[in-house]
């Protein structure tokens, strides 16, 4: 199931709350800018991504093309605030995506690093780990909200 677009801001306690239109320095706007930057790096159209402020925050990018290991499946990148980026496939658009690998590392890697992960997958390499690796726990005090709030591509 792909996340929906949403509006809200992440409060200091780690939960999302509503915010007024035009608030550019909220974590939600930062998440939208971040996911848009990854989509641009991958050459995707604007309508190919969605970000959801959660909780927990998630995002989905519908990636053009297929993977060599799954030539008959649609390819998507999923992001969430605990596990970071993951590659997923699905047989039909109505079906939920199935994660095949988690990128690992930083929960908010630079867009070129996400693009390199996708390039490796498209070459038929097997980057990341098929097991979910929690990079942070939802609600844990850390710098994620500040990093999202400040994100500028």
pLDDT tens-place string over residues 57-116: 999 999 988 999 999 999 999 999 999 999 999 988 788 999 999 999 999 999 999 999
- On whether the pTM is more than 0.75, the answer is yes
Q: Please return the burial class of 137, using the count of CB atoms within 10 Å of its CB with bins 0-12, 13-18 and 19+.
A: exposed
Show the tokens assigned to 92. Answer: 């039909």
Cis bond leading into 32, ω under 30°?
Answer: no
Report angle CA 43, 151, 108 to the nearest 5 degrees.
Answer: 70
pLDDT tens-place string over residues 106-145: 999 999 999 999 999 999 999 999 999 999 998 888 999 8
């Amino acid at each position: 199931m792909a996340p929906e677009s949403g509006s809200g801001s992440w409060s200091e306690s780690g939960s999302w709350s509503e915010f007024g239109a035009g608030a550019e320095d909220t974590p939600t706007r930062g998440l939208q800018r971040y996911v848009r930057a990854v989509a641009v790096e991958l050459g995707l159209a604007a309508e190919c991504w969605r970000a959801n402020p959660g909780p927990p925050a998630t995002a989905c990018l519908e990636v053009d093309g297929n993977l060599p290991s799954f030539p008959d499946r649609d390819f998507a990148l999923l992001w969430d605030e605990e596990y970071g980026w993951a590659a997923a496939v699905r047989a039909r658009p109505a079906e939920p995506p199935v994660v095949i690998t988690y990128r690992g590392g930083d929960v908010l890697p630079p867009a070129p690093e996400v693009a390199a992960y996708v390039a490796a997958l498209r070459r038929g390499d097997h980057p990341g780990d098929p097991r979910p690796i929690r990079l942070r726990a939802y609600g844990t005090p850390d710098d994620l909200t500040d990093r999202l709030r400040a994100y500028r591509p």
